[in-house]
Structure 1
Amino acid sequence: MGVQSAVADLPAMKTDPKYIFFTDFDGTITLQDSNDYMTDNIGYGREKRRQGNLDTLSGKINFRDSFRDMMESVTRPYSECIQILCDNIKLDPYFAEFFQWSLENNVPVVVLSSGMEPIIKALLKKLIGPDAEKMQVIGNYVKARPGKTINEEGGWEIVFHHPESGFGHDKSVTLRKYSSLPEDVRPTMFYAGDGVSDLSAARETDLLFAKKGHDLISYCAKENVPFTVFEDWSSILEKVKEITAGKTTVQEAAHQGYEAYKAGDAGIKPT
């Protein structure tokens, strides 16, 4: 496959960007994780859900099976689930500013999510408005169970983007399509995430932003994955502006992130 055909298959490359920002959705763009919210409030509850997260981090269960178990506990009609989330999930207060800056500076934003595309698109449309359509969303899907419709009790189930993968949606597959581009066209790649759904993406970008106090930092520190810490999208915007302006490098930013972790400033106790 030639360079032109490879680039043609990557929507975020259409404007020949020098930088692309890939991001998780739940708990990263939003203040709450929509899937956790459903599980905690209309599924089997927070305690069992949190244990599943911990078991995934420790390797006792893979993310796909833990997440399927979570979603199996949510039986409300799909349209009702979307409405509940639209009524309760809030956007990070600084994400809209970051997204507007990205549109003005040719930094495409690509959402890579282990959640379900219909929910993500509905929330983005509500929280950001028409410009949300300029953001590519890649996630899992949903389908009706045999003999039912998705909008009846117990009528839907999750369909994984990569059902053969223990991640369900292996975010590294998309990221590697960009990272493997020839050096003269390959953009600098950022990624922001917070938890166990981001483990497949952690090693695949030039600079990983890991949310303060969340599981992704624990994983990165344990596995020696470079990262920098963010609390909200104002700190991401500040750092990305510095890098795109040539005031700092992704390597320096990652070094600063690890130093913050060792100093106890990442919200996770250093080990």
Structure 2
Amino acid sequence: MSTDLPPAIVFTDWDGTVTLQDSNDYLTDNLGMGQPARLKINDLIFDNKLSFRDGFKEMLESIPTPFNECIEYLLKNVKLDPGFKEFYKFCHERNIPIVVVSSGMTPIITALLTNLVGQEAVSKIEILSNDVRIDDNGKNWEIVFKDPDSHFGHDKSKSILNYLKQHGYSNGTSDDDQGIKMFYIGDGVSDKSGAELLAKLSDSSDPTKDLQSLLFAKHGKDLIKICIRDNIPFTEFNDFGDVLNKMKKIIDDNDSINSFVENSKIAKESEELKNVKESTK
């Protein structure tokens, strides 16, 4: 592996994370089954009564609109997180890779990324996501899952591990990888496997050890509920301005990742350990 290592690697969800609207939900609500029906499916997925893959497929199958018209509709309505361009500039200047890990479809993500950030960003940001099969000049289309045997459809943990392996990182666990921090940014149920992977790679069970990765979970969204329920370490964010501020403190000021972890066992134990140390001084 090259000795010229980046200071960090960023893995991020796309829909509802980089963008303000979830493009697939937006299509389903406005062109497909409608929001009430979609929310019923979301509840079944969150309660583990329906797989994300099957629920997501049902939502998309309710959309009768040709694929190219779907993209045009999204280009007119989907907006970018207000802090993402500055975040992208910071990462580009610091040689920090940004990898989109999405349960959406590559053609839609590429079109939105080009429209919202620019063509250069498409060449700089790697996209790992599902694809789409198009017939009859776009009239008929269906999602092609990246990992059809996974109940997620796209197992984001698998994509992250493959990325690390392909780029010479030993799954974030070898001595060669020390100092390379990993960040994951997400908002929903499809981010669960990626969130769990970061916790595993960081060995977050040991409060005396500085974490090497940090999960950013979006305020008010399902991923925070999952993290609290399943005791996955996370820090909350409202927009990419929040993400950038915390990343700067970690990368530029060398603040400990542990200090940013919220509402989790590792945060509580770290604070207790700190109090014990202070009381013995």
TM range (shorter): 0.7 to 0.9
Give CA-to-partner distance per residue, 1:169-202, whole Å, 9 cap, x none: 0000022242614331362110010111111111
The answer as to 2:227 corresponding to 1:220 is: yes
Matching residue's letter, 2:152: F
Matching residue's letter, 1:171: K
Mapping of residues 62-211 of structure 1, within 5 Å:
62-133=51-122, 134-144=124-134, 148-152=135-139, 155-177=140-162, 178=164, 180-181=171-172, 182-185=174-177, 187-205=180-198, 206-211=213-218
**Aligned pair partner of 1:238 in 232, 245, 258:** 245
Shift of residue 131 of structure 1?
2.2
- How far apart, in 2, do the equivalents of 1:232 and 1:48 lie? 28
Query: Which range moved further: 72-81 or 197-206?
Result: 197-206
Shift of residue 248 of structure 1?
1.5
Identity %: 46
Shift of residue 150 of structure 1?
4.7
SS in 2 for 1:114: strand
Matching residue's letter, 2:190: S
Q: TM-score, normalised by structure 2?
A: 0.82
- How far apart, in 1, do the equivalents of 2:67 and 2:14 lie? 19
Matching residue's letter, 1:143: R
Shift of residue 96 of structure 1?
0.5
The answer as to 2:241 corresponding to 1:250 is: no
- How far apart, in 2, do the equivalents of 1:116 and 1:150 lie? 17
SS in 1 for 2:85: helix
Shift of residue 112 of structure 1?
0.2
Query: Which range moved further: 185-194 or 58-67?
Result: 185-194
Q: Which structure has the greater CA radius of gyration?
A: 2
Shift of residue 249 of structure 1?
1.6
- How far apart, in 1, do the equivalents of 2:253 and 2:161 lie? 25
Shift of residue 245 of structure 1?
1.6
Matching residue's letter, 1:67: F
Q: Structure 1 residues 88, 43: CA separation in 2 closer, same or farther (over 3 Å shift)?
A: same
Any gaps of 5 or more consecutive residues in structure 2?
165-169, 199-212, 269-281
Conserved in 2, the CA contact under 8 Å of 1:143 and 1:150? no
Give CA-to-partner distance per residue, 1:1-23, whole Å, 9 cap, x none: xxx4xx8xxxxxx9631200100
Report how many aligned residue pairs link the two structures: 244
Matching residue's letter, 2:82: P
| Structure 2 equivalent of residue 267 of structure 1 | none
Q: Structure 1 residues 55, 47: CA separation in 2 closer, same or farther (over 3 Å shift)?
A: same
SS in 1 for 2:63: coil
Conserved in 2, the CA contact under 8 Å of 1:226 and 1:258? yes
Conserved in 1, the CA contact under 8 Å of 2:6 and 2:94? no
- How far apart, in 1, do the equivalents of 2:106 and 2:243 lie? 24
Q: Structure 1 residues 193, 69: CA separation in 2 closer, same or farther (over 3 Å shift)?
A: same
Q: TM-score, normalised by structure 1?
A: 0.85
SS in 1 for 2:195: coil
| Structure 1 equivalent of residue 274 of structure 2 | none
| Structure 2 equivalent of residue 10 of structure 1 | none
The answer as to 2:23 corresponding to 1:34 is: yes
- How far apart, in 2, do the equivalents of 1:185 and 1:124 lie? 30
- How far apart, in 1, do the equivalents of 2:244 and 2:189 lie? 23
